Amino acid sequence: MTEFWDIVLAASFWAAALRLATPLIFGTLGALIGERSGVLNLGIEGIMTAGAMTGWLSVHLGAPLWLGIAVAAVAGGTIGLLHAALTVRLGLSQHVTGLGITLFSVSLSSYLYRLYVPASGSPPKITPFAPVHLPVLSDLPWLGPAFFQHTALTWLALLTVLLVAWLLWRTPLGLAIRMAGESPEACEAQGVSVFSLRTGAVVAGSALMAIGGAFLTTAAFDSFYFSMIQGRGWVCIALVVFASWQPGKALLGALLYGMFDAFQLRLQPLVPGVPYQLFLMMPYLLSIAALVLVSRRARVPQALMQPYRPGER
Amino acid sequence: MSPVLELTGITKRFGTLLANDGIDLTLGRGEVLALLGENGAGKTTLMSILFGHYVADAGTVRAFGQVLPPGDPKAAIAAGIGMVHQHFTLASNLSVLDNVTIGTEPLSAWRSRRGAARRRLVELAERFGLPVDPDRRVGELSVGERQRVEILKSLYRDARILILDEPTAVLTPQESERLFSTLRGMARQGLSLIFISHKLHEVVAHADRVAVLRGGRLVAERPAAGASRAELAELMVGRRVVHASRVPLEPGGSLLRLDGVRVEAGGRRLLDDIALDLREREVLGIVGVAGNGQDALSRLFAGTAPQPTGRIELLGRPVARLDHDALAEAGLAHIPEDRHHEGVVGDLRLYENAVLERIRDRRFSRLGLLRRQAALDHAAGLIRMFDIRGAEPTTRTRLLSGGNMQKLILGRNLVEQPRLIVASQPTRGLDEGAVAEIHRRLLEARGNGAGVLLISEDLDEIFRLADRVQVIFKGRLSAPLPIEAASEARLGLMMAGEDGDAPRAA
Amino acid sequence: MRLERRERTPPLLLVAAPMAAIVTALVLCSLLIGLAGAPVLAAYATLFQEALGSRLGITETLTRATPLILTGLGAAVAFRARFWNIGLEGQFYLGAIAVAALGSADWGLPPALLVPLLLLAGALAGALFLLGPALLKLRLGVDEVVTTLLLNFVAILLVSLLIEGPMKDPLAFGWPQSVPVTEAGLLPQLLARTRLHLGFALALLAALAIAFLNARTVFGLSARAVGLGTPAARHAGIPVGRVLLLTAMLSGALAGLAGAVEVTGLKGYVTTDLSPGFGTAGVIVAMLASLNPLGVVPAAIFVAAVFVGADAMARAHGVPSFIADVIVATALLTMLVALFLTEYRVRR
């Protein structure tokens, strides 16, 4: 029990929790926007990989950090456009297409990385984002290192939660996106193009996912590794369900996940008898448990995964 | 008077089917035009082209003198055209206000102006006599209320021309009357209206002018006043349709008896205290407005409903569970409401659908292996016996027309000579020829001793087939009435729960 | 541009679709090869020469195709019934580790008995690993895509735990790998001086069996009905839940069998890189075959050839061998479009 308090009372635990949650916040919001419009984006794992690779590579080749983030967002958006073209315009199976998008982006990212960075002993490093120093707050004892020494990307993630919530609940565009996910026919009957809405939502969501990936290589770490996303994208898909498609709850879910992850990482060295693999399994099993927990009351957008094909008879 | 709407030479082809063939049509200000035609005549296609859902292969649409760009609902809306679809295009998880305001504000606006929108909606609702609560979830509304929301959607966008596709299909006779008087009021305020229908009496009673569509062509146009129903009927169908007539028969023993039956799902009571008694050689009609529990009642006999409580007797023996095997053993045939969704698997071949319900039967499989030739032969037999057109045993079932698909579904059941038939909306969406054919088959089965439970929203169908009728309202059934004692007006009141004999609301 | 559903699909189109998809994918990927500064045609020539141009190359390709046929069948079976088992990778590893665990002990059984038992155990382990997601889907409606995807990671960690712990081979110079399967538990070779083993014949047999099951049995028709129209299947009295569960178990068993065959036929022991993505590639194979069990065989051979040839291409022309993954992933996407065009036509 003392181990528990030792871990939880350390400022570094809280800092790590939010740091681990950051890519999930981006990814979950990105998936959430798409699903609200009716499109499941299983390309997420690949899009995050692409974001991680392109963001890092841009900086490695000399671009400023923020330009790297922009490149990642554009790369993610482009892949999202491909997903939308296949699933929205052609109405292909969102499951299979999304998986294909993931395989495609992961392999393409690996290929391009290897093309520009030949194999060597250890992967090259860049100078990553530094924590933003906030006057007074960052210098507070305990609270400062726990909560106020994050990089700009983490603050951006939190801001994005507010923006997405505002978009969905307070703007005409948000209403249209939700309508496209509930009843595309109703949307179209009112003269709002379902194709445009869904395509836009998937592209924007994919850009967010890619920024989440880029956070890993330009803020949390300083180099790119193959398969570094490690299922984070799939966790995001689970978190969207856990969050009942609501941005606020998505933030909550990502934070809980981050806390759990930070906790198990710190617990590992304290209980040497238990194989480390058991700890690493926990987050995945936890995600499944979360899905089971909400399964009974999940309020799925009615038209999720249903292609809209006008004039079909 | 120059027309507000002018269609010229509208032609539309779907594959080999010519759905619209050079149609010319005009509409004047303040006019109520009825577009009459049976199912499949091309009415809905024409209106979809007018509204920009489909692109015509040829022809133009002019509204208030301006040519509308094809395939652009937005332009149609901007030109003042509003459409009330037969299958409402509403999102049931969103509020009335959300459903009405979607698409009315620029999508680039950084916030919605909900307050102003709510005031305008309430004001419109009052002016046109269409009361609704802006904050209710659409999923909680009755069918009539949903239709009001649909109409308000158009009015909110300043529609000057309103198109209603089969607006009375889901209403009681009294609700229909009320709707038409509302529409009349709108016409007096300067709106122009087109309503699509295949019901002669409402066309003659409520339109200024009637246009008749048949086989994709406009075959006649005349003032409604003084039009003869008989003539319109013949124009609409184009041939004489012989309807089988019901001869009185002495009913036999009880086939199916329910007493105090309840069905609950997800904490909601779908059926409450149901009592009915279906006998040999009779058709028992269950009539009601859509969404009053017909679905649950029908599912009870498909074995796909949640298990009921109460007393159930099949062929005079009490049964505990109505599962698929018990029903099949009792010789019960079930015709589901949604033939595309539940009746057949569209992407399987016809012969596979012909045997799917009896796939474990010795005739069609042995030791888990399919007897393909037997299934093919069986399907060929059904095609012959039930006159299923344009099909071979290996045709993909999806390609059948609605009428032929229904003949397949009915045929594969009737060929087993069932003692009990539960048919839910068996003729919805079919053309007159197919309707007559299905009715003839059902009456024939009755003549052979079967009992038919006919669940329908169509009063004409009930009067044509049923020996006795019970009204379903909010999950309850009224006591049975002999059909001779039932009038359209009386059943209408009962369907709205406004009659002494109506089922008491749960 | 508008899309119109075809009333009939010309049979030629069904055959042409995968061909067109593969050619399109190769053309698209030639841009990437060009980006690497390599001569495109020569590079492709090297790839296919290596994979299909010699007896050794062909047997290597078929050896590589063996687990792909089995995972491809696993995906095809499940997808046909609209059960999205994306956890083939995890089930593959469970099958492999089960075989390694049982096969390393000396049971004193003759090979003719031991080998079938081991393969059965592998299939069973794969099926059981999918039982959880299948039941969650059927009982609680939990999306199987996410659960099976997440369980892939759990499976790898479980294997890693076992081969670094209780199953670790003490003779492997500290490398994390399992104790090898005994001689009696290994599948015999098919051809001398090659690595091609009996597993390939088993995989072909499995493809035939699944094709028969689909087309000629009550179960196959039921599974197709469930996949193409669940409400209608339920209405027809087909026990939808049971059919889905059995389908899922069959799918998991095929993936588990793939792992078992790979261990008993080729490697003899388990490491965490036993599968270079056989599970995910199984999805690609199934789609390239349009879920047709017999089509799975050529599709798997194509994918295997690309992987076998890519290393030679990398050595000869300096193209990163990841090009193989890009080619097959691109082929999946182009195949999806090609399949779409067999169902729809584009109209102006």
Residue B39 vs residues B45, B236, B462: alpha-carbon distances, Å: 11, 10, 19
> What is the distance of C-alpha A70 from the center of its chain?
16
Q: Are the beta carbons of B372 and C216 closer than 8 angstroms? A: yes
CB atoms within 10 A of CB B339: 24
Chains contacting chain B through 3 or more C-beta pairs under 8 A: A, C
Return the HEC string of B306-335: CCCEEEEEECCEECCCCCHHHHHHCCEEEE
For residue A97, the enclosing domain spans 2-118+138-297
Rounded (10°) angle between helices A94-116 and C323-343: 150
Specify the long-range contacts of residues C139-145, CB closer than 8 Å, at least 24 apart. C140/A292, C140/A295, C140/A296, C141/A295, C141/A298, C142/A288, C142/A291, C142/A292, C142/A295, C143/A241, C143/A291, C144/C83, C144/C84, C144/C85, C144/C248, C145/A42, C145/A95, C145/A237, C145/C84, C145/C86
Q: Nearest-CA residue of chain A relative to C5?
A: A312
β-pairing, B58-63 vs B66-67, is: antiparallel
Residues of B225-241 as b/e, b for ≥16 C-beta within 10 angstroms?
eebeeeebbebbbbeee
Q: Return the SS3 of B457.
A: coil
| For residues C48-65, average pLDDT | 95
> What does the pLDDT read at residue B200?
86
A64 at the B interface (CB within 8 A)? no
Closest Cα in chain A, distance from residue C224 (Å): 17
Instruction: Choose one of B396, B417, B438: the last residue of a domain.
Output: B417
CB atoms within 10 A of CB C120: 16
> What does the pLDDT read at residue C1?
63
Q: Residues B30-42: pLDDT tens digits?
A: 999 999 988 888 8
Structure tokens at A3: 């181990």
Q: Are the beta carbons of A51 and A80 closer than 8 angstroms? A: no
From CA C70, how far away is CA C251, in angstroms rounded?
9
| For residues B79-105, average pLDDT | 92
Q: Residues B214-227: pLDDT tens digits?
A: 989 999 999 998 88
Q: Which helix (H) or strand (E) holds B193?
A: strand B192-197
Q: Residues C171-220: pLDDT tens digits?
A: 888 888 999 999 999 999 998 889 999 999 999 999 999 999 999 999 99
pLDDT surpasses 90 at B320? no
Q: What is the DSSP string of C319-347?
A: --TTHHHHHHHHHHHHHHHHHHHHHEEEE
For residue B431, the enclosing domain spans 242-331+419-506
From CA C95, how far away is CA C152, in angstroms rounded?
13
Flag if A311 and C333 touch (Cβ within 8 Å).
no
Structure tokens at C89: 């990778």
β-pairing, B5-14 vs B17-27, is: antiparallel
* B387 is a domain residue: yes
Q: Nearest-CA residue of chain B relative to C238?
A: B357
Closest Cα in chain C, distance from residue B123 (Å): 41
> What does the pLDDT read at residue A312?
52
Please indicate, yes or no, whether residues B229 and B250 belong to a single structural domain of this protein.
no
Please indicate, yes or no, whether residues B302 and B368 belong to a single structural domain of this protein.
no
Which amino acid is residue B376, in one-letter code?
Answer: L
Helices (H), B57-199: 73-78, 96-101, 114-127, 143-156, 173-188
Residue that is written with structure tokens 């994005």 in the block: A160
Flag if C216 and B372 touch (Cβ within 8 Å).
yes
From CA C263, how far away is CA C260, in angstroms rounded?
5
Flag if B112 and A182 touch (Cβ within 8 Å).
no
B91 at the A interface (CB within 8 A)? yes
Measured CA angle at B239 (ends B221, B424), to 5 deg: 100
Closest Cα in chain A, distance from residue C187 (Å): 31
Flag if B103 and A311 touch (Cβ within 8 Å).
no
Give the residue, B433 or C26, on which the prediction is more confident.
Answer: C26
Cα atoms found within 13 Å of the Cα of residue C167, Cβ hemisphere only: 26
* B255 is a domain residue: yes
Please indicate, yes or no, whether residues B26 and B170 belong to a single structural domain of this protein.
yes
Give the residue, B52 or A218, on which the prediction is more confident.
Answer: A218
Structure tokens at C120: 């059965």
pLDDT surpasses 70 at A311? no
Instruction: Choose one of B221, B237, B253: the last residue of a domain.
Output: B237
C222 at the B interface (CB within 8 A)? yes
β-pairing, B451-456 vs B420-424, is: parallel
Looking only at Cα atoms, what is the longest distance across chain B? Answer: 76
Structure tokens at B250: 């002495």
From CA C55, how far away is CA C178, in angstroms rounded?
32
> What is the distance of C-alpha B330 from the center of its chain?
29
When divided into structural domains, chain A yields a total of 1
pLDDT surpasses 90 at A179? yes
| For residues A71-95, average pLDDT | 97
Q: Are the beta carbons of C102 and C121 closer than 8 angstroms? A: yes
Give the residue, A135 or A295, on which the prediction is more confident.
Answer: A135
Flag if B359 and C216 touch (Cβ within 8 Å).
no
Burial of A90 (0-12, 13-18, 19+ CB in 10 A): middle
> What does the pLDDT read at residue A313?
40
* A129 is a domain residue: no
Please indicate, yes or no, whether residues B405 and B270 belong to a single structural domain of this protein.
no
Instruction: Choose one of B183, B216, B237: the last residue of a domain.
Output: B237
Q: Are the beta carbons of B386 and B222 closer than 8 angstroms? A: no
Closest Cα in chain B, distance from residue A118 (Å): 46
- Report DSSP state, residue A216: I
Structure tokens at B133: 């609560």
**What is the side-by-side order of every strand in the sheet holding B209-214?**
B81-84, B161-165, B192-197, B32-36, B209-214, B217-223
Q: Nearest-CA residue of chain A relative to B266?
A: A296
* A308 is a domain residue: no
Q: Nearest-CA residue of chain B relative to C217?
A: B369
B77 at the A interface (CB within 8 A)? yes
Q: Are the beta carbons of A23 and A48 closer than 8 angstroms? A: yes
* A46 is a domain residue: yes
A312 at the B interface (CB within 8 A)? no
End-to-end, the C-alpha distance of chain C in Å comes to 5
Closest Cα in chain C, distance from residue B364 (Å): 9
Rounded (10°) angle between helices C88-103 and C111-135: 140
Topology, domain C2-347: ABC transporter involved in vitamin B12 uptake, BtuC (1.10.3470)
Q: Nearest-CA residue of chain C relative to B349?
A: C225
- Segments of chain C assigned E as strands: 2-5, 344-347
Q: Return the SS3 of B351.
A: helix
Structure tokens at C166: 């209780």
Residue B17: which pLDDT band, with cuts at 50, 70 and 90?
confident
Domain boundaries, chain C: 2-347
Closest Cα in chain A, distance from residue B443 (Å): 32
Q: What is the DSSP string of C91-150?
A: HHHHHHHHHHHHHTS-----HHHHHHHHHHHHHHHHHHHHHHHHHIIIII---HHHHHHH
* B61 is a domain residue: yes
- In chain A, which residues have their Cβ closer than 8 Å to the Cβ of B84? none
When scoring B74, B90, B99, B107 by the number of chain A Cβ atoms within 10 A, the one with the most, hence best to mutate, is B107
- In chain A, which residues have their Cβ closer than 8 Å to the Cβ of B79? none
Give the percent of chain A with pLDDT over 90.
Answer: 79
Q: Residues B97-106: pLDDT tens digits?
A: 999 999 999 9
Burial of B16 (0-12, 13-18, 19+ CB in 10 A): exposed
Q: Are the beta carbons of A42 and A94 closer than 8 angstroms? A: yes
* A163 is a domain residue: yes
Q: Are the beta carbons of B380 and B438 closer than 8 angstroms? A: no
- In chain C, which residues have their Cβ closer than 8 Å to the Cβ of A281? 153-154, 157-158
Q: What average pLDDT does the structure give for chain A?
A: 93
Flag if B370 and C217 touch (Cβ within 8 Å).
yes
Residue C262 vs residues B182, C66, C97, C118, C180: alpha-carbon distances, Å: 74, 8, 11, 12, 13
In this structure, what CATH number is given to the domain that contains residue B214? Answer: 3.40.50.300
* B505 is a domain residue: yes
Closest Cα in chain A, distance from residue B54 (Å): 6
> What does the pLDDT read at residue B506?
43
Structure tokens at A40: 């499941």
C345 at the B interface (CB within 8 A)? no
Q: Are the beta carbons of A179 and A303 closer than 8 angstroms? A: no
Which one of C146, C280, C333 has the shortest CB-CB distance to A237? C146
- In chain A, which residues have their Cβ closer than 8 Å to the Cβ of B90? 183, 186
Burial of C1 (0-12, 13-18, 19+ CB in 10 A): exposed
Structure tokens at C298: 């050529």
- In chain A, which residues have their Cβ closer than 8 Å to the Cβ of C150? 231, 234-235, 238, 284-285, 287-288
From CA B67, how far away is CA B339, in angstroms rounded?
39
* B124 is a domain residue: yes
In this structure, what CATH number is given to the domain that contains residue A206? Answer: 1.10.3470
Which one of C216, C233, C238 has the shortest CB-CB distance to B369? C216
- Report DSSP state, residue B342: I
Please indicate, yes or no, whether residues B400 and B433 belong to a single structural domain of this protein.
no
Contacting residues for A305 by C-beta, under 8 A, at least 6 apart? A38, A39, A40, A94, A95
Q: Nearest-CA residue of chain A relative to C341?
A: A90
Residues of A278-309 as b/e, b for ≥16 C-beta within 10 angstroms?
ebbbbbbebbbebbeebbeebeebbbbeebbb
C231 at the B interface (CB within 8 A)? yes
| C-alpha closest to that of A280 among A295, A267, A298, A294 | A267
Flag if A188 and B73 touch (Cβ within 8 Å).
yes
Q: Are the beta carbons of B335 and B410 closer than 8 angstroms? A: yes
Q: Are the beta carbons of B73 and B28 closer than 8 angstroms? A: no
- In chain A, which residues have their Cβ closer than 8 Å to the Cβ of B98? 175, 178-179
Q: Are the beta carbons of C179 and C271 closer than 8 angstroms? A: no
Helices (H), B164-265: 173-188, 200-206, 229-237
